[in-house]
């Protein structure tokens, strides 16, 4: 939800490509001068779909794949980092308005957030451990809208669509010259395409910003979310062809998803406080601290899991800026710490109700890192960044039932230093070339150490690998064309992979090593610019021919096999048209090539071509803007899965996605 959606919508009539500024690695500068593989999505890119999730917008970014096995059940992959995620978001570090959203255990409840109050998404692709700690996939920064000082605004919107879709939101903002506040509520619902795939989500956010002096400001963010989504389970190819809308059926030994009322319930509350202070002419100090509570329950086909989670932590950085001749220097150092406690009970699932207790565990985790970076830039186009982080964690685990342990497990993973070096050279205001190399580090998540098979696994080792990258960016003088191309070499050791037991229970192992080399390219072009008509094209693609270099499991040797769950080729085409400064039409086409569904490469998902469209008309009445729109998804009406169950026992890989369906909505905003 944009604070000034009217302003954001009006921006669609400006068909010139803006000079993009990005904030990453503790600095803000033009994309042309940023020595890292970045992408940024703003309000217009996020709101060109059906307002239900971040997924379709993220899937237009080269090298990024977001999956949805059923509504609300998301997975996120940067450059093939999906390998270890049977569900949820792992191996990508995520921040919300400066606060760590990724929990101490390494997972992120991204599905608690409603896309309607996210204004901007910035992505770092590839290891970002040098400044953001554990994670070989990358980092993502979500920014919600915040009112400007001295501005009053508000609005509401509703979208309805096929399969019972209903998304709505309402918000208001008020401020003066010293403070600004915003309250927003969002609701999302769908009946789902398949049986046992309905979703309901309520979220309420409150934000206040206080400017206590010319050099100091405070931020307070509170979030409440209540999410429930059903999980239909995977199908075999035969079952999918017979009836793609069915939930996983029962077998002779295992009940079905509908019978067990398989679902996820998650209630979460978060409170965060941030401070930014300019101390003198050279120092900038930022501190963000938060606390979060989660009440999570998951009646699944095999069992019924409950988790009570308490978390807290924060990030603090200090930056010293100085100029020496035509060189500018920024020295940044700081630390990030997170602590969490989880009480975990697993019981029998008696048709959606708790039954006999199987296990009861408690786990506490302390994780953190210190970081430092020197950023030097010159007036003639040189940028040098050098730094790194020192990472560590401590885990304490106890099994309380069925047999209480005499002494709890205490341990962790060897502290790891993750350095990064980047160099950029800009040629005038049109070209730049950058090189970067860095080490990625990712400890196993708590869900991987204590997976669904209930066996506490202390043998898992942290993933580690080096990434080396070369990129080129181009911006035309007339702001009609910009392009980016980058090539990377990533060698990952101790790769964590998902395995499944015969009854479907999950566990994880280190798979040896992988070779993940790839190419990514993006082209943005203004095809036509007239007073009454504009046309803009964006084409992006990635070539990711990843494979296992060394991977032996029991008597099987998978070395040389393609990396599970990664499509070697993916691409997207985005076409935006504006008419009479009021009408707009958005087309989005995404292609995903065949991908292996198991480590043995014995089954492959077919390629998919998805087309979506949205058209609308904006009516401006003074300070009010009314946007009426309609559109459709999967317009080619193909049969496909938007997410697969990798290495599924019995070939239950497939989670069929919705057929062709349509949506319509209206959004009203005002500001003064």
Mean pLDDT for 89-106 is 90
Instruction: Work out the mean pLDDT of the chain and round it to a whole number.
Output: 90
Displacement of CA 139 from its chain's centroid (Å) = 8
SS (H, E, C) 250-262: CCCCCCCCCCCCC
Mean pLDDT for 42-54 is 92
The residues that bridge with 258 in the sheet, in sequence order, are none
Would you say residue 150 has pLDDT above 90?
no
Would you say residue 6 has pLDDT above 60?
no
Encode pLDDT of 282-327 as tens digits.
999 999 999 999 999 999 998 999 999 999 999 999 999 999 888 9
Whole-angstrom distance, CA of residue 316 vs CA of residue 287 = 4
**Nearest by Cα to 156 from 213, 117, 210:** 117
Would you say residue 12 has pLDDT above 70?
no
Residue 407's pLDDT band (cuts 50, 70, 90)? low
Would you say residue 672 has pLDDT above 70?
no
Encode pLDDT of 581-633 as tens digits.
899 999 999 999 999 999 999 999 999 999 999 999 999 988 899 999 999 99
Would you say residue 139 has pLDDT above 80?
yes
Would you say residue 1 has pLDDT above 70?
no
**Nearest by Cα to 372 from 318, 416, 441, 315:** 318
Confidence at residue 11, expressed as pLDDT on a 0 to 100 scale: 34
Q: What is the largest CA-CA distance in the chain?
A: 77
List CB contacts of 85: < 8 A, sequence separation 6 or more.
Answer: 75, 76, 77, 91, 498
Would you say residue 9 has pLDDT above 70?
no
Confidence at residue 19, expressed as pLDDT on a 0 to 100 scale: 75
Quick check: 224 and 268 in contact, CB under 8 A? Answer: yes
Enumerate domains of the chain plus CATH numbers: 5-671 (2.40.170.20)
Quick check: 480 and 456 in contact, CB under 8 A? Answer: no
**Nearest by Cα to 92 from 549, 463, 486:** 463
Mean pLDDT for 456-477 is 90
Would you say residue 115 has pLDDT above 50?
yes
Report how far apart the first and last C-alpha atoms of the chain are (Å, whole number).
Answer: 17
Encode pLDDT of 198-255 as tens digits.
999 999 999 999 999 999 999 999 999 999 999 999 999 999 999 999 999 999 889 9
Cis peptide bond N-terminal to 402, omega within 30: yes
Confidence at residue 155, expressed as pLDDT on a 0 to 100 scale: 93
Tell me the C-alpha to C-alpha distance, in Å, between residue 490 and each of 61, 146, 469, 493, 522: 19, 38, 9, 10, 20
Confidence at residue 501, expressed as pLDDT on a 0 to 100 scale: 74
**Nearest by Cα to 131 from 365, 332, 277:** 332
**DSSP assigned state of 235:** B
Helix (H, G, I), strand (E, B) or coil at 116: helix
Residue 87's pLDDT band (cuts 50, 70, 90)? low
Least confident of 80-89, 491-500, 504-513: 80-89
Whole-angstrom distance, CA of residue 31 vs CA of residue 29 = 6
Encode pLDDT of 343-377 as tens digits.
999 999 999 999 999 999 999 999 999 999 999 99
Encode pLDDT of 522-552 as tens digits.
999 999 988 889 999 999 999 999 999 988 8
Mean pLDDT for 636-660 is 94
**Nearest by Cα to 339 from 90, 26, 112, 100:** 100
Least confident of 183-192, 303-312, 504-513: 504-513
Encode pLDDT of 152-178 as tens digits.
899 999 999 999 999 999 999 998 888
pTM value? Answer: 0.93
Least confident of 244-258, 383-397, 407-421, 517-531: 407-421
Instruction: Region of 512 please: left (phi>0), alpha (psi -120 to 50) or beta.
Output: left
**Nearest by Cα to 67 from 92, 89, 41, 46:** 89
Confidence at residue 227, expressed as pLDDT on a 0 to 100 scale: 97
Would you say residue 146 has pLDDT above 80?
no
**Nearest by Cα to 13 from 578, 478, 424, 471:** 578
SS (H, E, C) 31-73: HHHCCCCEEEECHHHHCCCCCCCCHHHHCCCCCEEEEEEECCE
Displacement of CA 514 from its chain's centroid (Å) = 23
Tell me the C-alpha to C-alpha distance, in Å, between residue 351 and each of 243, 262, 302, 581: 23, 9, 11, 55
Residue 85's pLDDT band (cuts 50, 70, 90)? low
Confidence at residue 406, expressed as pLDDT on a 0 to 100 scale: 59
Quick check: 381 and 425 in contact, CB under 8 A? Answer: yes
**Nearest by Cα to 334 from 312, 317, 355:** 317
The residues that bridge with 339 in the sheet, in sequence order, are 312, 366
Handedness of CA 482, 487, 491, 492 (dihedral sign): positive
Confidence at residue 504, expressed as pLDDT on a 0 to 100 scale: 67
Would you say residue 555 has pLDDT above 60?
yes
Mean pLDDT for 428-456 is 86
């Amino acid at each position: 939800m944009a604070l000034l959606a009217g302003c954001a919508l009006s921006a669609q009539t400006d068909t010139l490509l803006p000079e993009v500024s990005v904030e990453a690695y503790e600095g803000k500068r033009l994309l042309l001068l940023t020595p890292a593989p970045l992408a940024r999505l703003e309000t217009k890119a996020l709101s060109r779909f059906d307002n239900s999730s971040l997924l379709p917008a993220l899937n237009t970014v080269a090298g990024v794949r977001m999956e949805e096995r059923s509504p609300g059940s998301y997975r996120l992959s940067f450059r093939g980092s999906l390998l270890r995620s049977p569900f949820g978001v792992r191996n990508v570090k995520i921040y919300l308005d400066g606060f760590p959203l990724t929990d101490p255990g390494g997972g992120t409840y991204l599905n608690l957030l409603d896309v309607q109050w996210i204004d901007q998404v910035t992505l770092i692709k590839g290891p970002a451990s040098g400044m953001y700690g554990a994670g070989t996939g990358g980092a993502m920064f979500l920014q919600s809208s915040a009112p400007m000082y001295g501005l009053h605004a508000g609005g509401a919107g509703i979208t309805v669509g096929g399969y019972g879709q209903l998304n709505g939101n309402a918000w208001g903002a008020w401020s003066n010259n010293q403070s600004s506040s915003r309250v927003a509520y969002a609701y999302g619902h769908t009946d789902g395409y398949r049986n046992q795939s309905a979703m309901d989500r309520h979220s309420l956010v409150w934000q206040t910003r206080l400017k206590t002096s010319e050099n100091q400001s405070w931020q307070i963010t509170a979030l409440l979310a209540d999410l429930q989504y059903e999980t239909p389970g995977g199908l075999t190819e035969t079952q999918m062809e017979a009836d793609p809308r069915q939930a996983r059926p029962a077998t002779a030994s295992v009940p079905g998803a509908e019978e067990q009322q398989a679902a996820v319930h998650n209630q979460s509350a978060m409170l965060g406080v941030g401070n930014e202070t300019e101390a003198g002419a050279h120092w900038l100090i930022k501190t963000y601290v938060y606390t979060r509570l989660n009440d999570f329950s998951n009646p699944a086909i095999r069992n019924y899991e409950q988790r009570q989670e308490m978390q807290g932590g924060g990030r603090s950085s200090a930056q010293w800026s100085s100029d020496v001749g035509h060189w500018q220097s920024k020295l940044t150092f700081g630390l990030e710490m997170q602590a969490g406690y989880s009480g975990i009970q697993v019981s029998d699932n008696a048709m959606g109700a708790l039954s006999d207790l199987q296990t009861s565990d408690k786990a506490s985790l302390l994780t953190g890192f210190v970081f430092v970076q020197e950023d030097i830039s010159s007036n003639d186009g040189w940028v040098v960044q050098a730094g790194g982080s020192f990472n560590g964690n401590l885990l304490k685990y106890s099994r309380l039932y069925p047999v209480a342990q005499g002494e709890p497990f205490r341990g962790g993973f060897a502290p790891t230093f993750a350095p990064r070096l980047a160099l950029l050279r800009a040629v005038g205001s049109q070209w730049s070339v950058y090189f970067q190399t860095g080490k990625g580090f990712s400890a196993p998540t708590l869900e991987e150490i204590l997976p669904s098979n209930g066996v506490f696994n202390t043998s898992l080792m942290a993933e580690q690998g080096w990434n080396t990258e070369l990129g080129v960016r181009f911006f035309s003088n007339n702001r009609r064309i910009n392009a980016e191309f980058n090539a990377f070499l990533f060698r990952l050791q101790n790769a964590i992979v998902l395995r499944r037991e015969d009854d479907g229970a999950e566990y994880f192992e280190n798979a040896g090593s992988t070779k993940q080399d790839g190419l990514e390219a993006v082209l943005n072009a203004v095809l036509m610019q007239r007073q009454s008509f504009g046309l803009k094209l964006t084409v992006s693609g990635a070539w990711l021919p990843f494979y296992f270099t060394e991977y032996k499991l029991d008597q099987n040797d998978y070395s040389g096999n393609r990396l599970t769950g990664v499509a070697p080729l993916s691409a997207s085409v985005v076409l935006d048209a504006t008419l009479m400064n009021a009408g707009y039409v958005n087309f989005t086409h995404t292609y995903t090539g065949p991908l292996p569904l198991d480590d043995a490469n014995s089954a492959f998902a077919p390629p998919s071509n998805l087309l979506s469209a949205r058209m609308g008309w904006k009516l401006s009445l003074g300070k009010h803007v009314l946007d009426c729109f309609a559109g459709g998804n999967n317009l080619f009406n193909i049969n496909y899965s938007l997410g697969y169950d990798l290495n599924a026992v019995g070939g239950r890989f497939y989670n069929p996605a919705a057929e062709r369906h349509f949506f319509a909505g209206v959004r009203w905003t005002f500001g003064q």
